[in-house]
Structures are given as structure tokens and as C-alpha cells.
Structure 1
Amino acid sequence: MGELRLVVIGDELVAGAGDPKALGWVGRVTARTPAPDRLTVLTLAIPGESTTALSQRWEDEVARRTAPDVDTRLVIGLGRADIGAGLSLARSRLNLANILDVAEQRRMPAFVVGPPPGATQDGDKLAELSVAFADVATRRRVPYVDTYSPLAAHEQWLADLAAGDGVLPGQAGYGLMAWLVLHTGWHAWLGLPDDAA
């Protein structure tokens, strides 16, 4: 195995916004990923980005960060912006499907992390959105991490949100997201032993 390059696309959750340690879930997962050779993680985040905007920009940005001799993989961190943007479930599904289909055409293995719980008034919509994203990924045999279901009633997650702005997690919340990623097929997807977590 030579260099492994992970390109992570998504919104402010991918950038770790709100984390006083500035690690977010991506930094925590990277720290727990013992790649045999060189591991490079490139985060391409745009705050508040919907899947429509993401689907329009990701290909060009990711293409600039790939090389023919480097194993490059795509990590998609999905946020909650589709709800605020008023996108239909069908549109959100289609946007993710298009990203995954193009990634497959480019022989770039993908891994999807779903949206975590946020403001309580959006709970039902977020739950539906997470299920829709999971279905799209599963149909394409792409690993999907459901962060919504395990965290919706999780006391530590809710306390962490409440301690901040009610939208972004802090250290504890990002730690919980990282744990879910690490224990939902992450090492298998990278071809690493599962006991690495």
C-alpha cells in the first residue's frame, strides 16, 4: 500500500466548527487510523452547504487533489442544510446518488457519514433525510454511518449541543461522531484490520 489520500467533502461539521480543539470528527478519526504508509487527509468544507451545491462543486475540487499513482478515496460528510434550503427528499437523494455514481465512474471508493441531530424542531425531517441518504448509499454498496439515530436521544450529545449554540457539537459531540465512524466499517473500507480502532 502506497500513499492513501482521503478527500473529505461536506459542510461545517466536516471542518469541525464549534470544536475548541479544532479537530472535529475528521481529525479524531484520522488520529485513530493507523495507515501502514502515508495517509493524507484533505478537508474541503463549505459552511451551510446543501447537497445541491455540494453535487455541483465536488468533482472539480476533488479532481485537482488526485493523482494517477495515489489511492484516493472520497468521504462525504452530509449536513443538515437541505432542510433549511427546503429541498425535497427526492432531490436530496438524487444529489447524493449523482455524487456516488460519478465517484464510482472515477473508481474512487466512497464512504458516507450522515447528518447528526441538531435543532429539535427539525428532528422528524432529519430522521427522514438520514434514512433516505442511507438507502441511496446502501443501494450502491457504499458504507453509510447513521449518526442521527444513535445520537437523537443521547444525553451527552444533547448536553454538548445545549452547552454551545444548539446547532454545532463541541468536543464531546465530535468525539461521539468519530466513534460512530470508526465503528461502522471505517477500517474495513480502508483495508485495515478492524482491531485498529
Structure 2
Amino acid sequence: MSRDLRMCFIGDSFVQGIGDPEHRGWVGRVLQATCGDVTAFNLGIRRNTSEDVLRRCWREVAPRTLPDADNRLVVSFGSNDMVEEEGKVRVAPSRCVGNLTSLLDGCRQRAIGALVVGPPPVVDAGEGHLRRTSQLAEEMAALCRSRHVPFIATTQTLACDPAWTREALAGDGAHPGSAGYHRLTDIVLAGRWHEWTARPGQ
């Protein structure tokens, strides 16, 4: 009997796939490349910070899990946290890491397998935003290592990727088109994705 693999993706507009004319984003493309039957739910919301995601996470994820299923949660946020508004970031880096800690603790308590995709860069937000997001990604990666949770870094690779930057600048300055999301998909698939999905969850 095949296992019931149920997977929620929660986060911001990059999770939602904003800007992709094919309406697949990286989540849809990753799922297409994933072996086996997966029941998947995209819970990305534009402009969400880690505070927003933490606030809504369990009330949205809980109805989409089953007691006997292999339940998974893919988390990706941080880009909006590091946006500066009125002279300060929307969510302090320490608070963002604390929110991720709470989510990972919640996954452990609920026996839900977790994987974290690092925050993509916002191209038109400037060097300061990239610097803050890169530092945040490093702190997220350290947290994930300490919890033995897979972390897939994206920030620096995408900041240097011509398809990502070209499409983002041609659009709203933040979100790429299909080529940029295809590049992010490649990063996720190369980052222990197949290993994580192939082994039984918690």
C-alpha cells in the first residue's frame, strides 16, 4: 500500500508563485518533479512576514493533515521581514528566527516533517535588503542544523542569477517570471528535496 504523503507549503508571495505567467511558481514545478503521489496545499500569501505565517500556520495546516498520513510542512519566509518601512525592518531578524523556532517546535510536537527554503532576494530592494536577508538566511540555516531540519539556501545564488534578476526587474521588481521560478525550482530539487521526500516522515 502506498503511503499517504500530505504536504503543505506555507509562506509568502514567492511560495504563492506571484509573477509566473504559467501559474506554477516553484512549488508547482517541484511537485511535478516529485516521485509518488503527493496531496499538496499551497498556503502562500503575498506580503506575509514570519509573524503572519506563524499566526495562521496551525489553523490552516491542521485540517490538511491526517493522523495516519506522512504529514510534511515546507516553510519559506523572511524576504518581507527584512523590508524596511519608515526606517525599520518589518520584523527584526531575531524575531524572525524566533518565529521559525516556534514553527519547528510545533512540527516536532505534531510529528510533522519540516523543511525550510531560505528567503529569495528582492531585487529592487537594494543592497541593504540583500545584506540583511543573507544574514537572516545564515541564522535560519544554523537553527535548522541544530534541529536536524533540511535547509535550502536560495538568497545569494538567486541574487547572482541573470534570469531571476532580469525577470524581476522587468516585472514588479521582486517577483520573477517562469525562468526565474524554474531556477529556484532547480535549487530546491538539488537541495536534498528528493532525499527528504523519499524517506518516511517523523
**TM-score (structure 2 length as normaliser):** 0.90
Deviation at 1:34, TM superposition (A): 1.4
**Matching of residue 123 in structure 1 with residue 130 in structure 2:** yes
Deviation at 1:156, TM superposition (A): 2.0
CA shift digits 1:120-179 (9 cap, x unpaired): 241111111111211111111111111102111222221121121111111111101110
CA shift digits 1:25-68 (9 cap, x unpaired): 00000001111xx2111011221111012112101211111111
**d(CA) in 2 for partners of 1:181, 1:34:** 15
Which residue of structure 2 aligns with residue 70 of structure 1? 69
After the TM superposition, list the runs of 4 or more consecutive aligned residues in structure 1 that deviate by more than 6 angstroms: none
Contact 1:13/1:79, CA 8 A, preserved across alignment: no
**Matching of residue 185 in structure 1 with residue 186 in structure 2:** no
Which residue of structure 2 aligns with residue 44 of structure 1? 43
**d(CA) in 1 for partners of 2:82, 2:61:** 25
**TM-score (structure 1 length as normaliser):** 0.92
**Matching of residue 101 in structure 1 with residue 105 in structure 2:** yes
Deviation at 1:79, TM superposition (A): 4.2
Which residue of structure 1 aligns with residue 183 of structure 2? 176
Q: Any residues of structure 2 matched to 1:30-41 within 5 Å, and which?
A: 30-35=31-36, 38-41=37-40
**d(CA) in 2 for partners of 1:78, 1:179:** 18
| Structure 2: gaps (5+ residues) | 84-88
Alignment partner of 2:6: what SS? Answer: strand
The count of aligned residue pairs is 190
1:79–1:17 distance in 2 versus 1, CA, 3 Å? farther
**d(CA) in 1 for partners of 2:135, 2:12:** 19
**Matching of residue 11 in structure 1 with residue 15 in structure 2:** no
CA shift digits 1:70-122 (9 cap, x unpaired): 11100112241111353221111100010001101111010101111113241
